[in-house]
Amino acid sequence: MFNYFVRRILTMLLTLLVVSALVFVIIQLPEGDYLTSYIAELESQGEAVDPQKIAYLKEEFGLDKPIWLQYLSWIGGVVQGDFGRSIEFDLPVTDVIGEVFVFSLILNFSIIIFIYMVAFPIGVYSATHQYSWGDHGLTFIGFIGLATPNFLLALILMFLARKYFGTSIGGLVDPSFENKPWDFAKFMSLLEHLVVPVIVIGTSGTAGMIRRLRANLLDELHKQYVVTARAKGLPEGKLLIKYPLRMALNPFIADIGNLLPQVISGSVIVAVIMDLPTTGPVILDALRSQDMFLAGSFLLFVSLLTVVGMFVSDLLLAVLDPRIRLEGTRE
């Protein structure tokens, strides 16, 4: 077991190192760098370009150095916990991310809870009532949820909410609460504003989850141990929950690997449209303006979560399903 842990963590570190280099290269792929686009923007606005400031920025962020040197100094800092400075905001990356991070966390945890709470009962119902009208109807709704682009759903729901409930939906709290301390009213406003994004972003995840749970549970329900259990008179409810459901849970656990990074990077498009103060719009901006330390740290962080998430879900699977052995003992 110890060997497995060590090997796994070493691979994780190696993967992250390669990912960080890859990410850095991807961000640098567009022609020019942050400075050239910055200068172009100033010139298009008819403002004078202060050569001193340019020189300062160049010096400060090492933009005149070759790309591999920039990468090395950045990754060296990352290892020591210093993610560099965002050129655009002129703040440490951690400060820029930290501000939006909390909101992302709140939003995406609500989404995950929503997905599980909706997908679970529906999936079980669909599987136990296969080919019933309820199953067909729910499957169809699930398909529509998969097929509708998230941003479209967002637009429609925003439109409806505005028309029928009069809720102003941009942002995560009502504009009147901005810059005010947290109290109960502000909290309620937050809840109110959470509803639409949670539904919008949750639907596609829910649909996929329902389909997988249904398929898995159906596989299990046709196995012989279920027949045996039923033959010896186990009550239907207990029979379902105790054995097949436990097996069918595996995809839920395996999904943790995908959920963790989603906490940060999911919902980018919806967040842009709905003007949510989450990480999505920030990362999009950073990518566009080639603010490489911000975008790079961001992508690296999300990748870290992916790798850790996969690791955690592998461990959990092994704990919950005794048939799974982590150390492959194949001869």
Residues 213, 248, 287, 317: which binds another protein (CB under 8 A)?
287
The pair of three-digit structure tokens given for residue 277, joined into one six-digit string: 């103060």
In whole angstroms, what is the distance from residue 315 CA to residue 23 CA?
A: 28
Residues 34, 74, 252, 298: which binds another protein (CB under 8 A)?
298
Residue 269 binds another protein (CB under 8 A): yes
Complex with another protein: residue 229 or 271, whichever CB lies closer: 271
Complex with another protein: residue 186 or 192, whichever CB lies closer: 192
Q: How far is the CB of 121 from another protein (least distance, A)?
A: 23
CA atoms within 13 A on the CB side of 176: 8
Report, in this order, helix, strand and coil percent for the chain, each rounded to 5: 75, 0, 25
Of the candidate spans 108-116, 193-201, 232-240, 269-277, the one that interacts with another protein by CB under 8 A turns out to be 269-277
Q: Are 233 and 306 in contact (CB under 8 A)?
A: no
Of the candidate spans 120-128, 190-198, 236-244, 259-267, the one that interacts with another protein by CB under 8 A turns out to be 259-267
Radius of gyration of the chain from Cα atoms? 25
Q: State which of positions 162-201 bind another protein (CB under 8 A).
A: 162-163
The sign of the CA dihedral 315, 316, 321, 322 is positive
Q: Are 267 and 111 in contact (CB under 8 A)?
A: yes
Q: How far is the CB of 44 from another protein (least distance, A)?
A: 13
Residue 156 binds another protein (CB under 8 A): yes
Residues 9, 10, 13, 30: which binds another protein (CB under 8 A)?
30
- Give the interface size with another protein as a residue count (CB under 8 A): 47
Complex with another protein: residue 38 or 239, whichever CB lies closer: 38
Token pair 């999904």: residue: 255
Residue 148 binds another protein (CB under 8 A): yes
Residues 9, 13, 18, 102: which binds another protein (CB under 8 A)?
18
Q: How far is the CB of 23 from another protein (least distance, A)?
A: 7
In whole angstroms, what is the distance from residue 165 CA to residue 83 CA?
A: 43
Convert 112-141 to b/e letters by CB count within 10 Å (16 or more is b).
Answer: bebbbebbbebbbebbbeeeeeebeebbee
Residue 96 binds another protein (CB under 8 A): no
Of the candidate spans 52-60, 83-91, 116-124, 280-288, the one that interacts with another protein by CB under 8 A turns out to be 280-288
Residues 118, 210, 299, 317: which binds another protein (CB under 8 A)?
299
Q: How far is the CB of 284 from another protein (least distance, A)?
A: 6
Residue 151 binds another protein (CB under 8 A): yes
Residue 155 binds another protein (CB under 8 A): yes
In whole angstroms, what is the distance from residue 34 CA to residue 39 CA?
A: 9
Q: Phi-psi bin for 131: left (phi > 0), alpha (psi -120 to 50), beta?
A: left
Complex with another protein: residue 23 or 93, whichever CB lies closer: 23
Of 320, 293, 300, 325, the closest CA to residue 13 belongs to 300
